[in-house]
A and B are shown apart, each in its own frame.
Chain A
């Protein structure tokens, strides 16, 4: 079992034990269930020992305040990683003019390799992988910088192949260390590579894939499909990144039917994609509920709301008094809340 998964299972068990202990106290207070002294003498040390063992083995959070701190540490790790990425980029640009070309090439190749060694070294000394994740982001940025600056130094004509390499690098590191942020970065790179390659096969410039958003949807669907095949702790990231790659292009096709591959009237294309967008958002909500993935359900709900708002603006903004417009939007929001409440009760 991957270490990240084992840690997650350990965290779930610790959470259950903590809730059990709190619920037991409440039952005792209400005199519903009162343990004998003998039972208490056996239970309390068992709970303490189990939590201590889990904490020692997996470095998990055993109290609510620890959980809050861990969340803060994850946020700091991500922000710190991004800041360090910016530092690497800017440091290089600040000094590279004074370094001969051979030196520039050597630094660019060696930096990501040093990053990999640092990840290995640090991961051996921590179980939570906060610092490993931070160094991982910097290493990923160093590899991105490596190929971008190579392109600049040697005046290479750009191609989508760099995104294939960056994606592979991010995904391999994510699998090696169980780092979801790097996984998302790698998937985004592949979601550029796939549509760019598809459009370049038609003889047009590879970076014009933004002008044919359907090509991005293909990669998005493939990524969502892959979420069923990948390891459990990564399936959510695959699913979310893939769904974003489906929903954002739908948003563009909603407005610009002329950017479709389909040789039809742009207005008809826009209307078709508006219907498809609503169906897609509803399916995402359904899928999120069905698979018990709250982020997926939230994404679907957010997309559905945005689509609905856009449709209201299209229909009513120009001719309706603004106070009536916002009143109707508010009333519909209340209606949606009631519908979601019913749905929640039905799935309880």
Chain B
């Protein structure tokens, strides 16, 4: 049993690695689906242990929500949008004690565009002195089940970024009538690994990052 078992275990290792590498190759095959240049504001360096010598960047995005009460939800992530993503809004509103589980979706982010400008203006009106220069200019503006529709709708590849993400829905019982609110809770993957050959460029406090997304919407750092 030992020898066949060992060979089978080795086969598990080899097949698993082969499947992962085939997936990586498929993601990177041909031209990238989208390429965008961001900065340390949108992709700051990720947290790493003292002994971790790898470099990774962490997605930082701006919710585009008010910073003071009353907080409002993502206005574009309304009931119809949540239904289109797959949430059973009728069941969720009928039974608010059972919160719906998060669903994967594609999320469209606007980079340094009108949504960001509006948000900055609103904050300046709220608090007078407001310095936005260190904040992320990535603001979520739309979501959908398929990437193709979002890629067509937001075709300016330097202004919009379509990524995989996670959408959560909550029944808001604090209003006059029960309402289903949604939020973008995660970008997938949340961290982007920097290849060792490019890692030195990210030791400075300010930097730019060129990200390329492949066919499976898995990103890669291709320049700085």
Interface of chain A residues 92 through 137 with chain B (CB within 8 A) = 93-101, 104-105, 108-109, 112-113, 116, 119-120, 123
Known: A120-B2, A176-B5, A258-B97. A203 touches B103 (CB 8 A): yes
CA distance A147 to B196 in the complex (A): 19
Question: Which size class do B's interface residues fall under?
Answer: 35 or more
Is B54 a contact of A97 with CB atoms below 8 Å? Answer: yes
Cβ-based interface call for B8 (8 A): yes
CA distance A176 to B10 in the complex (A): 12
CA distance A116 to B55 in the complex (A): 30
Is A93 a contact of B16 with CB atoms below 8 Å? Answer: no
Known: A155-B218, A155-B219, A157-B218. A212 touches B101 (CB 8 A): yes
Is B98 a contact of A155 with CB atoms below 8 Å? Answer: no
Q: Is the interface of B mostly helix, strand, loop or mixed?
A: mixed
CA distance A96 to B10 in the complex (A): 24
Closest chain B residue to A267, Cβ basis: B97
Contacts of B27 in A (CB 8 A): 154
Looking at the assembled complex, report how far the CB atom of A173 sits from the nearest CB atom of chain B, in whole angstroms.
5
Known: A97-B54, A154-B218. A172 touches B9 (CB 8 A): yes
Bitwise, B80-109 to A at CB < 8 A (1) or not (0) is 000000100001000101110111100000
Interface of chain B residues 136 through 171 with chain A (CB within 8 A) = 164, 166
Looking at the assembled complex, report how far the CB atom of A121 sits from the nearest CB atom of chain B, in whole angstroms.
11
Cβ-based interface call for B197 (8 A): yes
Known: A97-B53, A101-B195. A263 touches B99 (CB 8 A): no
Cβ-based interface call for B216 (8 A): yes
CA distance A113 to B99 in the complex (A): 45
Looking at the assembled complex, report how far the CB atom of B167 sits from the nearest CB atom of chain A, in whole angstroms.
9
Cβ-based interface call for B24 (8 A): yes
CA distance A265 to B166 in the complex (A): 27
CA distance A109 to B14 in the complex (A): 8
Interface centre among A97, A146, A263, A265 (most CB of B within 10 A): A97
CA distance A165 to B8 in the complex (A): 12
Is B189 a contact of A156 with CB atoms below 8 Å? Answer: yes
Cβ-based interface call for A76 (8 A): no
Bitwise, A75-104 to B at CB < 8 A (1) or not (0) is 000000000000000100111111111001
Kindly list 12 other residue pairs between chains A and B, CB separation below 8 angstroms, not including A97-B52, A120-B6, A162-B16: A96-B53, A98-B53, A98-B196, A109-B13, A150-B17, A152-B191, A172-B9, A172-B12, A173-B9, A176-B5, A208-B101, A265-B97
